[in-house]
Amino acid sequence: MFPIILRTKYAFHTLLWLLEPDLILDVGSMDGSDSKKFIKLIPKANVVAFEGNPNNYREMCTDIDLQKLGIRVEHRLVSNQVGNRSFFIQRPIIANTKSNRGTSSVIRRSEQDMETEEVSIDAVRIDSFLTQEYSNKKCVAIWADVEGHAYEALEGIHEVQDHVYVIHIEVETQEIWPGQKIESDILALAKSMGFILIAHGAHKIQRDIILIKECWYNANRGKILTLLHISKWVGPLLSKMLLANRRAGLTYRALLKIH
């Protein structure tokens, strides 16, 4: 049955809507655009956006919409340890060349026509961060895009794993960053923490996966599978529908009728 192949971001939106977490972590946020969607979808939730690239972080700090929506922006690296770590920022060698703002990583990577700058950044584990600052939050969802650092980020939830119910994370099925852990390693770690893989994207090498807590899946199997299958066929429409109806208190039964 598993995993379902689909556009995972839309499925994640539906799972957030069903779960209604009280805390959502956007790890490797880049520009906060996903955080904005999350807080609009679940207005009662706290949303924290972590961004390691100092250039991206500075732009996020001047984003009026992030401020108005009450999204907390943290210039920290989410990892399996705390303290200062090296972080590698990539940018084009040729000036004024358009680049992907989300390719920087804790792992150095050599790419043609790109130069790398090493900076120092404060690293934090998710479990220690939550224990210190959000100890009252018992239902957590995580969205993570950390460029080859997924395994280490996931290791950092160990002490609060019982409070995390849904994880959307980018993984690689083969080595892209030197020495990185790949999808099979991440799935083995997730399984040891009680998570199951329910969906992944269509790409062969680098793709997003969705992990959910097995106990939550068992308690909501029918609803979860229905939402995933709807997401597979009309994901963008479903996401827009949920955002448009968030204040109207759209119920699961009403959603099925609309669909």
Whole-angstrom distance, CA of residue 56 vs CA of residue 145: 14
pLDDT band at 29 (very low <50, low <70, confident <90, very high): very high
Least confident of 102-106, 109-113, 156-160, 208-212: 109-113
Q: What is the per-residue pLDDT across 46-81, written as a single tens digit (0 to 9) for each?
A: 999 999 999 899 999 999 999 999 999 999 999 999
Nearest to 118 by CA among 148, 92, 93, 88: 88
Paired tokens of 202: 């269509």
Distances (CA, A) of 116 to 1, 91, 181: 43, 7, 22
pLDDT digits (tens, 9 = 90+) for 82-122: 999 988 887 766 655 555 565 677 777 666 666 788 889 99
| Lowest mean pLDDT across 17-26, 113-122, 131-140, 179-188 | 113-122
| φ/ψ of residue 171, rounded to 5 | -135, 170
Q: Amino acid identity of 138?
A: K
- Count of Cβ atoms closer than 10 Å to residue 73 Cβ: 21
| Rounded average pLDDT over 217-233 | 93
pLDDT score for 89:
84
Torsion of CA 60, 63, 65, 70, to 10 degrees: 50
CA end-to-end distance (rounded Å), the chain: 23
Residue corresponding to tokens 């969705």: 210
Q: Where are the alpha helices (DSSP H) in the chain?
A: 8-19, 33-41, 54-61, 64-68, 126-133, 150-155, 183-192, 214-219, 221-244, 252-258
3-state SS class at 234:
helix
- C-alpha to C-alpha distance for 143 and 197, rounded to whole angstroms: 15
Mean pLDDT for 165-192 is 95
What is the reported pLDDT for 156? 97
Report residue 249 as tokens. Answer: 């208190």
- What span, in angstroms and rounded, lies between the C-alpha atoms of 127 and 197? 21
